[in-house]
Amino acid sequence: MTTDPAEPAPAASAPAATVPPPPVMPPQAPPAAPEHSEPAVPAEPFAAEDAPRAPRRPRPVLLGTFALVLGVLAGGGVGYAVQAQRPPTPLPPLQVARPSYPADTVDPAALAAEQPKPLAIDGDLTKLLITAPEGSTPWADFPDKPSWISIGELAEENGRAAEAFKSLASRGFRRAAEVNWKKDGVFYRVKLVQYAADHADEAKSGYWPLTFAEDANGGYKVDIMPTHWAESTEQYYYGEANAKRGTVQMTIEVFDTKPVNPDTLKDLAKRQWERLT
């Protein structure tokens, strides 16, 4: 006899239930894809296990950083404690040189002699020009009375105005005065051109051998050959005299249809030079 329970007898197998087949759907055309549409990419499931993890900082690096910070703080504290225990060091007194004065009395005359010399001519240039003689008439649009002229007007009197303008501007031109007239078919021009003090050497004279005054540092000349007027076939004879005093250059020009009378030019130059001295 056994004590194991008796196994139940197998029940009679029930008949399998009949499952109806799924209904058959009629075939349908796939929906038309919209224009300019990108194919859909199926999303993949994202697993939490696949997320990237930040790399761990090595422990030796962290320990070294902590040790460095602690070392700096400890060193600073020790240095402050050592400096605090030392007695204060007094600073040296400031030393300033006292002003000194000459013991001797300054001589006003000697002091004035040491100062830079004033300019030889620094007044109104128009008052230093000679005037047109009686019986003369104006020469075109040029001033027939002593007048100021600009650097542009002075350059236009030359056949090459642009080059003359650049030359005057680069040579320290300061100011100019001029007077012009016409008498008996002869044209006369007297002008004074002054340069800056640091360009006094630009006030040059011709140094021609013919002198019009013994104390004048200049001279005069008379051409024996005619010259053409600018942009014209008309000819003229030319005479010129010039001299220099300080920063002022004196120039007298004579234009005639025949050779210029040297005595007339010499007289004009002498009279103008005497007004500068």
Residue 236 has pLDDT above 50, yes or no: yes
Q: Which helix H or strand E contains 142, and what residues bound it?
A: none
pLDDT at 38 over 80: no
pLDDT in tens, 157-176: 887 889 999 989 998 999 99
* φ/ψ (deg, to 5) at 62: -65, -40
85 membership: H or E segment, kind and range: helix 59-85
Average pLDDT over residues 54-73: 72
Written as six digits, the tokens of 22 are 């799924």
Q: Which has more confidence, 64 or 135?
A: 135
**pLDDT cut 90: percent of the chain above it:** 38
* Cβ within 8 Å of residue 185, ≥6 positions away: 256, 257
Q: Is 167 exposed, middle or buried (0-12, 13-18, 19+ CB in 10 A)?
A: middle
- Confidence bin at 113 (pLDDT 50/70/90): confident
Which residues in the chain belong to E strands, given as ranges?
A: 147-149, 173-183, 186-195, 219-222, 227-228, 235-245, 248-256
pLDDT of residue 106: 75
**Confidence check: pLDDT of 1 > 50:** no
What is the distance between the alpha carbons of residues 276 and 129, in angstroms, rounded to a whole number? 9
Is residue 144 within 8 A of residue 179, CB to CB? The reply is yes
Sign (positive or negative) of CA dihedral 244, 174, 155, 160: positive
pLDDT, the chain, mean: 79
Q: Each residue of 181-210: pLDDT tens digit?
A: 999 999 999 999 999 888 878 777 666 778
Question: With bands split at pLDDT 50, 70 and 90, how would you rate the model's confidence at 22?
Answer: low
| Residue 66: pLDDT over 80 | no
Query: Which tokens go with 151?
Result: 């650097």
| Chain length of the chain | 277
Q: Evaluate if residue 104 carries a pLDDT over 90.
A: no
Task: Give the model's pLDDT for residue 15.
Answer: 47
Task: Read off the tokens for 220.
Answer: 């005069």
Look up the pTM and report it: 0.57
- Buried residues in 99-117 as b, exposed as e (16+ CB within 10 A): eeeeeeeeeeeeeeeeeee
